[in-house]
Chains A and B, each alone.
Chain A
Amino acid sequence: MTEITILCPTGHLGFTPLEKDSFLAGCELKPDFIIADSGSCDIGPYPLGADGQASPSAWQRHDLEVMLLAARRLGVPMIIGSASDTGTDRGVAQYVALIEEIAAEHGLAPFRMAAIESEITPADLRARLAAGTPVTGLDGRPEADDALLARTDRVVAVMDAEPIASALKQGADVVIAGRASDCALFAAPILNAGMTPATAYYAGKLMECASFCCEPFMGKESIFGRIREDDIRVTAMHPGQCCTPASLASHAMYERRDPFREYVVSGYVDMSECRYEQMGEKTTRASGARFVPSATPMVKLEGAGKVGERRLAVVGMRDPYMIQNIDKAIGWARARLAERFGAPEEAGWQVFYHLYGRDGVMGAMDPTAPTQPHEIGVVVETLCQDGKRGEEICALAARNLFYARLPEVKGTAGAAALMSDEVLIGKPGYEWTLNHVMPVKEAGEMFRTRFVAVDGAARRAA
């Protein structure tokens, strides 16, 4: 019976460095593939919109180096998806360059690398829209239109296993993929081995976050998967961790609305009838997934656009009268800002007062009955297209708390404590503009694959 083994050392390559010991223990078992995802939407819209990265290059390099050296030593393919947090073309190029550098540094023998790009331009998307392709909103979002695309700076399409499986068939030893469904990275070699999409994508879903599917809770430790048709066995590689039916099943529902369905371009995995059984102390077996193909392949699009320049200030309050009347003080401050800069929506600026100590974390969702904290911390956040004007707005938004005119303030020398009288430059504000799907003719049509011959030995000699 066909069997594939996969070693996964991390659920987000580079986000914090992977733990080497359990990874090397996994290498001892001679996996057929070494696979890790490197991206996430959890980091917010800024990295995609600004085409930056959320993780330090040094950590990304560390993880890639550990994995590449092991993969080349074992002579097995290595697959990385959603390169450099976002999976933009920049991320793919950065990881391709890192792999070449690491190969040269270690004088690695020649190997073949595939780079799969998944970025599309807002202009390309506009053209598809104009040609009548519907771009449908997910999660209750409205259909995309020109106005939405005008607010979008950068877009990636999310690939399923097809482009990766195809690169592997063409002899890729290393695959660096742009934005990809986490589970697709694992599904690709399993599909190539002739197993069903149900087994392939389900195995990927279970394995994509590495040790998060084991207990007790530990991040960045390796797990080892042994996959046969409808028989997925996941083993914890850390000596202190076990993969249990409870830990594996609870991971299947992690970070998702619906614990029973995992959507990819070509359909979805139905996990409603899945079963989990303990197989020895550290291993759990999962089975029972079904795959429901979609009538038309639907590719998911993620897009982000800039809202404005962000400025921040930090203010504290200790006067019980001020704390009790903080909403009035903020109301007064907002009114003064509007007098000077115009109504926010018309004049294009926004101010947020984050009240730490009251409801800074949960806002209106916080059910705690109002009590009076003895002090309160206020983070003032402002947004404005123009940074200079934004700085002015933020400074006034903070100082207006200092000068708040409330009838019974006794501390007339200053109604707030300024941590320092300065305005901090925040990262520009971005928003997720696209969380949409678009029909395509073929699952792979949005993605571009190129092959790179890497010869570390020659490069080191040169």
Chain B
Amino acid sequence: MMERRNMPTLRDLASTIRSKNAGVDHITFDIIFKERANFEKVRDAKVLSPSIVAVLLRIPPERVTDFVVFEPANAIKFTIRRERPSGSPGERDVFGSQQYAPLFDVEVP
């Protein structure tokens, strides 16, 4: 267990953290902030990047296909390629809607 520090996490700062299918071959993650200041804090702290989310989700970096800071929505968005198309045999999450939880604990200095 990592020592618990008093640093805010994405769970504290973001108003929406979600994952969802983007087509049949990808899952996209949206981290949206109600407060512009929180968005800027996270954006500027650079606690999210393609390589960071690849490590977080334990996937090879080439499976992170898109990473965008989306200013009009105060949002950071990234997309990963699925292990196999949605709904294939062995599927765990047809809609891709429960893959975001590991983002909650990302600390923001």
> Can you give 30 A-B contacts (C-beta < 8 A)?
A44-B94, A45-B86, A45-B88, A139-B26, A139-B81, A140-B65, A141-B25, A252-B72, A252-B73, A254-B20, A255-B20, A255-B28, A256-B22, A256-B23, A307-B88, A350-B90, A361-B92, A361-B99, A362-B93, A363-B83, A365-B59, A366-B58, A367-B56, A367-B102, A383-B89, A429-B88, A431-B89, A432-B85, A432-B88, A435-B23
Interface of B is mostly: loop
B71–chain A nearest beta-carbon distance, Å? 9
CB–CB B23/A41 < 8 A: yes
CB–CB B58/A365 < 8 A: yes
With contact pairs A140-B81, A361-B93, A365-B99 given, residues A246 and B26 touching in the complex (Cβ less than 8 Å): no
Residues of chain A having any CB pair with chain B under 8 Å: 41-46, 138-141, 245-246, 249-250, 252-260, 274-276, 302, 307-308, 310, 350, 352, 354, 360-369, 381, 383, 429-432, 435
A352 contact set on B, CB distance < 8 A? 89-90
CB–CB A274/B65 < 8 A: no
CB–CB A381/B90 < 8 A: yes
CB–CB A253/B89 < 8 A: no
CB–CB A46/B87 < 8 A: yes
Number of interface residues of B (CB under 8 A): 45
Residues of chain B having any CB pair with chain A under 8 Å: 1, 16, 20-26, 28, 30, 32, 34, 56-59, 65-66, 68, 70, 72-75, 77, 79, 81, 83-95, 98-99, 101-102
CB–CB B85/A257 < 8 A: no
CB–CB B86/A432 < 8 A: yes
How far apart are the CA atoms of A258 and B78 in the complex, in Å?
A: 9
How far apart are the CA atoms of A257 and B77 in the complex, in Å?
A: 8
CB–CB B22/A45 < 8 A: no
A139 contact set on B, CB distance < 8 A? 23, 25-26, 65, 81
B48–chain A nearest beta-carbon distance, Å? 14
How far apart are the CA atoms of A184 and B87 in the complex, in Å?
A: 26
A360 contact set on B, CB distance < 8 A? 92
B54–chain A nearest beta-carbon distance, Å? 10
A364 contact set on B, CB distance < 8 A? 58, 83
Which listed residue, A42, A245, A361, touches B86 by the CB 8 Å rule? A42
Q: Which 3 A-B pairs have the closest CB atoms?
A: A44-B87, A249-B73, A432-B85
How far apart are the CA atoms of A367 and B103 in the complex, in Å?
A: 10
How far apart are the CA atoms of A139 and B91 in the complex, in Å?
A: 19
Closest to A44 in B: B87
A92–chain B nearest beta-carbon distance, Å? 22
CB–CB A245/B72 < 8 A: yes
B11–chain A nearest beta-carbon distance, Å? 15
How far apart are the CA atoms of A350 and B89 in the complex, in Å?
A: 9
B88 contact set on A, CB distance < 8 A? 45, 307, 429-432
A180–chain B nearest beta-carbon distance, Å? 16
Interface centre among B24, B75, B77, B94 (most CB of A within 10 A): B24
A258 contact set on B, CB distance < 8 A? 66, 68, 79
A43–chain B nearest beta-carbon distance, Å? 7
B92 contact set on A, CB distance < 8 A? 354, 360-363
With contact pairs A246-B74, A250-B16, A250-B73 given, residues A257 and B23 touching in the complex (Cβ less than 8 Å): yes
CB–CB A257/B89 < 8 A: no
How far apart are the CA atoms of A214 and B26 in the complex, in Å?
A: 25
A274 contact set on B, CB distance < 8 A? 72
With contact pairs A246-B34, A255-B28 given, residues A430 and B87 touching in the complex (Cβ less than 8 Å): yes
CB–CB B89/A307 < 8 A: yes
Instruction: List 13 additional contacts besides A44-B87, A252-B73, A381-B89; criterion CB under 8 Å.
Output: A41-B86, A42-B94, A138-B23, A139-B23, A139-B25, A254-B20, A255-B21, A257-B28, A302-B24, A365-B57, A365-B58, A429-B89, A432-B85
CB–CB A44/B91 < 8 A: yes
How far apart are the CA atoms of A410 and B101 in the complex, in Å?
A: 36
A195–chain B nearest beta-carbon distance, Å? 22
CB–CB A255/B22 < 8 A: yes
How far apart are the CA atoms of A365 and B81 in the complex, in Å?
A: 12
Interface centre among B25, B84, B85 (most CB of A within 10 A): B85
A425–chain B nearest beta-carbon distance, Å? 15
